[in-house]
Structure 1
């Protein structure tokens, strides 16, 4: 497994493909934002016009010294109402209705703005979760041995959720504040350049504050997400291992462990909240200063030019309109920083390439069953343990091979190398003369069944668990036949809903023996060319084991089978018996040959025979 470098890319730049995919929604949503804010900035100009009209009718009013500058639409509206010769009351009413109409138009475009951009973010969230899940399934076994399930889940849920806040609300508010500030500042500059500069003077202080606070938020956000992953992992392991916790009476200890993790998360989250709390008072202070400057300087100007009264009203409205977008700068920047931290964590996995993958020359090959281990040497990359040492073995199509050995002798490693969960550092494994590294992984594994030592069943029906490895739903006859071969059919019929019985998480509602036999049925229903059983009968009694062995002998008559176990199945006539010790081939031969050699196998066989006689 290799991690690709991020290079000079910012984490959020990896989202460009999604914005391009939904570019129509994004562009239309941006236009809705522009239209919404355009209609918003027209209302203050009409308000200023009305205020000037009222001021001119007051006793002692001075003549207007300068002609106000208006937007094109506002200018046409004012020209129209003046030419219509409305009475003063009707003129005020028409202007009021126009302001109401502008507010309605702004609201309509705001609705469509959210319907396009926020919905777009939900589509991106859906695509991103699918992309992550698909990539998780590509990653190899070693990856899952070095990463916790809780962390994997957290990156798909919490991190993707934070990224969605960027692709939706943050983008929307960013476009909104840029366009609204742009329109407001443009109109203010057209009215009075000097007053605009005075009003906007406090804003550079705001920009400096945002820059420094954002850097702090980014660091704290990454730390919080890492702590949340630890917390999720702790909870997930506690739920999965609840029976072990209860049996060892460790509820208090696990609660203490969870509390410590939760406390660390809380402290960092509170610390981040305190930093973010600097934003909003800062915004309110800067807006308050701008409003104060507007009234102060505008009031002085109004003493010399009465037309400035309407201007002051316009500027105060503009400043108040800027209150939310300017205050949203902090909120938006915070969402962007958090999304950047989360996307960086997501990219760590998305940019990780599995070491076990199809080579460019990989082809779909019909598996024949002729297996050759040629001087295979394998060291686990995450522990450095040399599990298999210069191992060689030839298995002819249709042969049944028993692999024996003590715990840690490398038996399971052989099975995982054969299924290509790992690649050996030295030597090679061939099937039908083809190196398995040149075979298409999906096609190859479709033709091989593997019953793992650690049985895993899904939270689904018995039927669906048995037919899990099939591309299409299996017939009733095929499912029951596989269950019968695994000697579990009669027990399934005894369940309340038979094959439609729901199995609890990881098969918790079943006994250990039932889980093993259902997993055997799941392997047999595929009708594979090669079957690998890895200590899959450890939880069944001797009588049931004898029945299953007899069924397997009939089922496997024309198939290649490798059975890995700690016990000797004396009733099953194996073509070869392989004995491993510390990753090396200790003994190999038929039952008669190994008994004559009087080595480890013979000793184990006599010991097992003695135990069976004692049980009888």
Structure 2
């Protein structure tokens, strides 16, 4: 239960729901016990009435006994119905307090986890898979809810029932009580183990289903590859194997489920048989009445489900504890990307890297080594180099998606670690290397970069990114759905929509991280011409592996293995015959000619 202490704050937050639930559990339990006593009186009344009826046979009093007997039976029957209706009302309110409380807590916990996820650095997401994150915010939270709602509710029912019913049974007959209750602990333990087996098989089914879903998702996403390599038959065989595995595990679970209710009926039936057998002997001895047997049978039936639920709820608590421990593991992780002084002010764009080195914390790879440069406000710096030279790391550090391992980065003379994160990132327009579009319209994807945008701003950003004409060719224009991850758009269109999303912010600093790699030379020149106008009086950082994308920059840095090996203008770098820049230029020129 140690991990589940993290849920105490939610129980305190919804204490009135919880206390109300306890009250309604108690009232509904009392109204379940009273009918048993009424039934006992009714049974005894029937027995006495029959005796009196025959005793006064042939007399006028016989009819009066019959009438009195009928009125009392109607009274007891009506009383039982009224008590049952009242119990139903309180059972309704019991669920409306405890189960509703658990749903509120589930919602609050999901929101807390999601908000915490957003605060964690990129290194966290590099260590954990999306499926793991989804599992903890959905399946694990659902299991915790089952503890807070049904497990607590049924446990309260069991405790209150035992506290009220067992003393009443002991007062009537100790021997009959002990023998009647004897099978119930066995029932609870049996259900605990059977339910554990069910949960284990359910987990296996979930894993098999997750594997099959992942396979199908990949097959649908890569259907063009499957068709081009003529692998439809192989893909179908793999799916059939995954589907057969899922079917086998489902049938295995169905077999165990088939044992569940027969086990309950068998062990509860034993209690009923004991009650009737031993109770009948006590009636013969005259220690109890037949009404007492009826009362005990009702008590046994009342205790059967809570005792059964004890095994079930014990399993729920175990699973909830394990799930909450997984949730706590994430919630206990704190981001190291925090603002030191919460500086919030407009950025002019004077950027300085001072002896910056960086090692990725999760892999230990050194991406940058002693990198120093400066971008004057309103100027454009290009960073070029081979794959893995550390170009994207420069952009990540400038946006403070990571913090430098050594050295420092200054913007307008202030260390980036002193800026408030929202203030810093809101003034940077970043077009990442791996373009990501949301499953929404083109217009909404562009407007994502600005809290409140007009249609005119969206259209102007599209024109600046040279994607406006492409959008107009779609039947629905800016209302065209781009599909999952922008699948309906070409690679170049996705990149240009991503550029438009950054431009609509009118940022003080613009970062283009290899954002023209998927467009042809003609489109690239058109975008660069448009961007040249936009980048005037705006600090810009162009990261690319193509020389054609960076030759218009005011200054060019050439990175190799995390170090600056060359820097200067396009003309100056081309004048160095043995330099990496010229080698890249000639290699790309030969490739284009070919």
| TM-score between both structures, scaled by the size of structure 1 | 0.86
Counterpart in the other structure of 1:348:
329
Answering whether residue 14 of structure 2 is matched by residue 22 of structure 1, we say yes
Change in Cα spacing, 1:554 to 1:180, as seen in structure 2 (3 Å) is: same
**Secondary structure in 2 aligned to 1:597?**
coil
Counterpart in the other structure of 1:140:
121
Mapping 1:318-337, distance limit 5 Å: 318-337=299-318
Aligned equivalents of 2:483, 2:348: Cα separation in 1: 37
Ranges in structure 1 where 5+ consecutive residues have no aligned partner: 1-8, 64-83
Q: Spell out, residue by residue over 1:100-145, the C-alpha distance to the aligned partner (whole angstroms, 9 max, x if none).
A: 1111111111122222222222222222222222222222212222
- Number of aligned residue pairs: give it: 584
Answering whether residue 92 of structure 2 is matched by residue 128 of structure 1, we say no
Change in Cα spacing, 1:275 to 1:519, as seen in structure 2 (3 Å) is: same
Counterpart in the other structure of 1:80:
none
Aligned equivalents of 1:570, 1:348: Cα separation in 2: 44
The one of 420, 424, 434 aligned to 1:440:
420
Answering whether residue 95 of structure 2 is matched by residue 114 of structure 1, we say yes
- Greater Cα shift, 185-194 or 204-213: 204-213
- Displacement of 1:375: 1.8
Aligned equivalents of 1:539, 1:297: Cα separation in 2: 85
- Greater Cα shift, 266-275 or 594-603: 266-275
Mapping 1:179-328, distance limit 5 Å: 179-206=160-187, 208-209=189-190, 233-251=214-232, 253=234, 280-305=261-286, 307-328=288-309
Q: Is the 8 A contact 2:185 2:307 kept in 1?
A: no
Q: Is the 8 A contact 2:340 2:417 kept in 1?
A: no
Aligned equivalents of 1:141, 1:113: Cα separation in 2: 44
Counterpart in the other structure of 1:605:
585
- Displacement of 1:230: 5.3
Aligned equivalents of 1:212, 1:534: Cα separation in 2: 57
Q: Is the 8 A contact 1:371 1:394 kept in 2?
A: yes
Aligned equivalents of 1:552, 1:97: Cα separation in 2: 85
Mapping 1:364-513, distance limit 5 Å: 364-472=344-452, 474-513=453-492
**Secondary structure in 2 aligned to 1:510?**
coil
- Displacement of 1:263: 6.4
**Secondary structure in 2 aligned to 1:593?**
helix
Report the aligned-residue RMSD.
Answer: 3.1
Mapping 1:52-131, distance limit 5 Å: 52-59=44-51, 87-131=68-112
- Displacement of 1:46: 1.0
Aligned equivalents of 1:452, 1:373: Cα separation in 2: 20
Aligned equivalents of 1:129, 1:597: Cα separation in 2: 58
Q: Is the 8 A contact 2:382 2:550 kept in 1?
A: no
Q: Is the 8 A contact 1:159 1:339 kept in 2?
A: yes
Answering whether residue 173 of structure 2 is matched by residue 173 of structure 1, we say no
The one of 532, 545, 560 aligned to 1:553:
532
Aligned equivalents of 1:611, 1:326: Cα separation in 2: 77
Q: Spell out, residue by residue over 1:411-462, the C-alpha distance to the aligned partner (whole angstroms, 9 max, x if none).
A: 1121112112222222222212222122211111101111111111111111
- Greater Cα shift, 171-180 or 240-249: 240-249
Q: Is the 8 A contact 1:221 1:337 kept in 2?
A: no
Change in Cα spacing, 1:150 to 1:440, as seen in structure 2 (3 Å) is: same
**Secondary structure in 2 aligned to 1:90?**
helix
**Secondary structure in 2 aligned to 1:538?**
coil
Q: Is the 8 A contact 1:150 1:236 kept in 2?
A: no
Mapping 1:521-560, distance limit 5 Å: 521-560=500-539
- Displacement of 1:25: 1.8
Q: Is the 8 A contact 1:361 1:438 kept in 2?
A: yes
- Greater Cα shift, 270-279 or 312-321: 270-279
Aligned equivalents of 1:32, 1:570: Cα separation in 2: 71
Change in Cα spacing, 1:414 to 1:216, as seen in structure 2 (3 Å) is: same
Q: Is the 8 A contact 1:279 1:330 kept in 2?
A: no
